[in-house]
Homo-oligomer: A and B are copies of this chain.
Amino acid sequence: MRAGPSPEEIRRHNLGTLLRHVHLGGPASRAVLADRMGLNRSTIMALTAELTGAGLVREELPKDTGRAGRPSLVVRPESDRVYVLAFDVGVDRLIAARVGLGGTVLDRREMVRPREGFELADVVGVLAGFARQMVRKTQSDTVCVGAGAAFCGMVRRSDGMVRFGPNIGWVDEAFGTELSRRLGLGLPVSVDNDANLGALAEHERGAGVGCDNLIYLHGDVGIGGGIIVGGRLLGGEGGYGGEVGHMVVKPVGGLACGCGSHGCLEAEVGERALLAAAERSPELIGREAVRSVVDAADRGDIAARDALHQVGDWLGIGVANLVNIFNPGLVIFGGTLREIYLGSAAQVRSRMATNVLAVSRERVRLRTPALGDDATLVGAAELAFSEVLTNPLEVLARATA
């Protein structure tokens, strides 16, 4: 338990908070910022002047306000000048993007990742190549202030080491370090689990804005969870928290899971379970195959509908357990779980009604991501922005040195 902050720490906090307001909330007048931050306008003016001097924001006269008197200047993030690199490694796809301060995707590359024979060096090579193409196209006065990546597995946050990626076959691969080296920008790459970053993105920019207790479930081949508790991402001792896919829901007679156990939520609800239950040919895999089952069920295909109902029942048990444990305001179904949830919402809701305690059922809503398929990528960008939003002037000085 430390003493309260020093004046220098408060100044840094206030600079970061002002920048975060315009980054997340968009351009805002000094008057509005003063109100939101609980500061007077002269302090806001001084903070804005520092951020303007560093090239992080600019001030503009607002469009005609229709009111008499001198209008309050509007503070706007320098979205074209200050950017981050964001990466998303799913089992089936690789994405790289250049995202401007304020959250605008300025440029973007994507490819399908082959499931076989595409290892660390290949993944890093593709992503670094995409980044180089995008950086080459930027103006000379632009500045890259960070890099972040979402990965479909368990990541050690301190150095971006992938500890375990059961559905991609990686164990202890130095993904963050290697990607940073191949980028050659002298920037570390912050890495986190994709579901964690989906949760972060939906909390800051999506369906979860204003909700400080939410669960984001991400379906890829497996099922990941990102959980916001009291406004902060649940990390746990090593940053591996949120592995809800390996909650055992079917202890007797459960399907084998990539983790080595049986009856995990991921084994009963993931891609393989759905496709097998729908009696799809083993060659059909991936996001499109999952969507085709949901579409077929919509069109009245009995096998597809039964498969979806069966999977939805297990999903409902998993969600009900999580709602009892976390008492969240919101559960968001992302990735392929978006379609699976939409196709089996009746089963999920039925389990909620049976298994969730009334006091926790009162306030929880079930939703799909406002950011759609980009939730994890947007989260990677937010992870990359986090340092400049904590300590704007130093990070910018370092990036432009």
A residues lining the B interface (CB < 8 Å)? 1-5, 9-11, 13-14, 17, 20-21, 36-39, 43, 154, 163-164, 211, 213, 225, 227, 229-230, 232, 234-244, 246-252, 259, 261, 317, 320-322, 324-329, 354-360, 362-364
Nearest B residue to A237 via CB reads B329
Rounded to whole angstroms, the CA-CA distance of A321 and B264 in the bound complex is 9
Using A236-B327, A237-B213 as known contacts, say yes or no to A321 and B247 having CB atoms under 8 A apart: yes
29 contacts between A and B (CB under 8 A): A1-B17, A1-B21, A3-B14, A3-B37, A3-B38, A213-B235, A213-B236, A213-B237, A227-B325, A229-B236, A236-B326, A236-B328, A237-B327, A238-B360, A239-B327, A241-B327, A242-B327, A243-B325, A243-B327, A243-B357, A244-B325, A246-B357, A247-B325, A248-B320, A248-B321, A248-B355, A250-B252, A259-B357, A322-B325
- Copies per complex? 2
Contacts of A320 in B (CB 8 A): 248
Rounded to whole angstroms, the CA-CA distance of A261 and B13 in the bound complex is 48
Nearest B residue to A321 via CB reads B247
Nearest B residue to A264 via CB reads B355
Contacts of A251 in B (CB 8 A): 249-250, 317
Extra pairs beyond A4-B14, A261-B354 (6, CB < 8 Å): A3-B37, A213-B237, A213-B241, A230-B232, A237-B329, A247-B325
Pairwise interchain contact A359-B327, C-beta atoms closer than 8 A = no
